Structure 1
Amino acid sequence: MFPFNQLKTAALLGLMSGLIVLVSYILVGNEQGLYLGLGISAVTTLGSWYFSDQAALAAYQAQPLQRSDAPKLYDTVARLCDRAQLPMPKLFIIPTKSPNAFATGRDPQHAAVAVTEGIIDLLSTKELEGVIAHELTHIRNRDTLTQAVAGTLGGAVTFVGRMLSFGGLYYPANRDDRRGNNPIVLLFLLVLAPLSATLIQLAISRTREFAADEGAAQITGNPTALANALNKLETVGRQIPINGNPAMSPLLIINPLSREGLQNLFRTHPSTEERIQRLQAMAKQPRQLFAKA
């Protein structure tokens, strides 16, 4: 299943990059649009590769956390990193009572894990271990980089679409040199292209959460603890939503603002109920299938 997810993610990222090229080509109407789209795609991908961690941490006003600030948390992360065979990430604290956490960074050697004050207060030690293990799995699977690139490319599609659509009001949208604009082209640039980019980004995010939950169960040997944590995060998170850049919401362990019905299409995560059910099913399996320590 993991190789399939990797292949699907690569295909979705390629599709999003192609969408940027298509948006540029539609308005410019010649090969210059292709070059423009390729250039924007390359720059945004490279930028997200280098600066994804800084952007995510800044979006939630995360502050560096030293061992002297929270020795118990620091030692917990270190112990789980040892089990997962990962280097110790940088730790950050987010000054909010909303319970949540995320991991970021381009690779395990440049990774960071951020937790909110609310999640530390809310969860038990075992439940917090499950959350940390979930984030470490994202780091191990390189999901943090994938999400950063997807988010940046998605933002680029929206930005290019809006900027070029204004140009379409004054410059030709075809190979002729006739003035005017094409309403269908403008509709695509303003609505359909950004919507398509968002759906691609969300599809990438959802494919990663189940794998991270399973990885957390393997690292801790305790699927039930993460299931209990997710249940608490869903309940309390709705009461105290976290503030930050919506483009970074796929990084969070849970998005409590998701709803059923039509909005289910725009979920950044699978439903919490389904994640809990899967973890509970794992808990019924022999314990030696999960314990790594």
Structure 2
Amino acid sequence: MILGFVFAALSSIGSWYYSDKAALAAYRAQPIDRAQAPEIYDMVARLCDRAELPMPKVFVVPTKSPNAFATGRDPEHAAVAVTEGIMELLTPQELEGVLAHELTHVKNRDTLTQAVAGTLAGAITYLGRILTFGALYGPVTTNGRRGTNPIGLIFLIVLAPLSAALIQFAISRTREFAADQGSAEITGNPLALASALEKLEAIGQQIPMNGNPAMSPLLIINPLSAEGLQTLFRTHPPTADRIRRLMELAQQRPLTTAKA
């Protein structure tokens, strides 16, 4: 169990520490400065000022698929990336809502949260494999049988790793809801993000985001659709649920932004 935890922790810590480099390389993101894209750069700077965050590095992903993501081990080493497609598709208010969502991930240190969840899931999976090996090849009983319990084996081989993965996905979905709310608080305009998500869900299915599927939890919209029981394995909540919650926020008392 200790070995499983150590191996899982080393893997997750490595993924967390180099998360920015790995994700940006996976999507071939290109760095930009204010001279290259003043509108998007100034928008990020303005939102960072409201959220009281340091200015992250800004990247553009050369694809027509509309999406965005944030990564980095902490706010001081963060990066925000948007695709060419999302800049063409969304209005300035909608794009501001998306960027505020991503900056909330940075502020909440969600990359670290996912690393911890990945460590626990990996440790449980590794422990299940070790115990399965012991059950299959362990000491023989006095009556000449190994005493393997088929129900126990099913739990060790399938249910334990599956449960760990489901918990990890559930944490990821919770963080998405929190980032949506954070966007509403930063911008004071939850309907802008709701409108953006509606557009992204419709167009994103038509123009898939190419890249490593392991990086899909970072994206604001999961490029893989799922229905029914498959939603349990999604890293993102259903977009309809996210839009509904944002509309409920809009109907509540007016939100106040951190700074004008």
TM bracket (short chain)? 0.7 to 0.9
Matches within 5 A, 1:1-293: 34-151=1-118, 154=121, 160=126, 168=133, 172-173=137-138, 187=154, 191-290=158-257, 292-293=259-260
* Letter aligned with residue 36 of structure 2: D
3-state SS of the aligned residue for 1:248? helix
What is the CA deviation profile of residues 117-159 of structure 1, one whole-angstrom value per residue up to 9, with x for unaligned ones? 111111111100000000111111111222244346656766x
After TM superposition, the score normalised by the length of structure 1 is: 0.76
Stretches of structure 2 that go unaligned for 5 or more consecutive residues are none
Match for 1:124: what amino acid? T
| CA distance in 2 between partners of 1:163 and 1:62 (Å) | 37
The equivalent of 1:16 in structure 2 is: none
Structure 1 SS opposite 2:18: helix
Residues 108, 121 of structure 1: alpha-carbon distance in 2 compared, 3 angstrom cutoff: same
Q: Distance in 1 between matches of 2:27 and 2:164?
A: 23
Shift, 1:291, TM fit: 6.7
Give distance in 2, aligned partners of 1:64 and 1:163: 42
Aligned residue identity for 1:172: Y
Distance 1:228 1:234 in 2: 10
Amino acid at match of 1:131: V
Whole-Å separation in 2 of the counterparts to 1:181 and 1:58: 50
Q: Deviations over 1:79-114 (max 9, x none)?
A: 100010000011112121111111111111111111
Cα 1:218–1:192 change in 2 (3 A) is same
The aligned amino acid for 1:276 is: I
Matched to 2:232, the amino acid is: L
Identity of aligned residues (%): 67
Name the residue aligned to 1:14.
none
Equivalent pair of 2:177/2:242 in contact (CA under 8 Å): yes
Once the two structures are TM-superposed, the CA of residue 192 in structure 1 deviates from its matched residue by 3.2
Runs of 4+ in 1 over 3 A off after TM superposition: 148-158, 160-165, 173-176, 180-194, 288-292
More helix by share: 1
Q: For residues 84 and 130 of structure 2, what CA distance do their matches in structure 1 show?
A: 42
Query: What count of residue pairs does the alignment treat as equivalent?
Result: 257
Give the counterpart letter for 1:281 in structure 2: E
**Structure 1 gaps, min length 5:** 1-33
CA contact (8 A) 1:162 1:189 kept: yes
User: Deviation at 1:38?
Assistant: 3.0
Residues 174 and 60 (structure 1 numbering): CA distance in 2 closer, same or farther, change over 3 Å?
farther
Shift in alpha-carbon separation, 1:246–1:214, aligned structure 2, 3 A:
same
Deviations 1:144-193 (A, max 9, x none): 222244346656766x489869x949x834599x9x99676765565334
SS of the aligned residue for 1:255 comes to coil
1:12 equivalent in structure 2: none
SS of aligned partner of 1:115: strand
Superimposed CA distance per residue, residues 47-66 of structure 1 (whole angstroms, 9 cap, x where no aligned partner): 23321222222222222222
TM-score, structure 2 as length reference? 0.85
**Structure 1 pair 256–50 and aligned structure 2 pair: CA distance change class (3 A):** closer
Alpha-carbon deviations, 1:178-232, whole Å to 9, x = none? 9x99676765565334422321211110111111111111111111110100000
Q: Structure 1 residues 252, 83: CA separation in 2 closer, same or farther (over 3 Å shift)?
A: same
Q: Distance in 2 between matches of 1:105 and 1:227?
A: 25
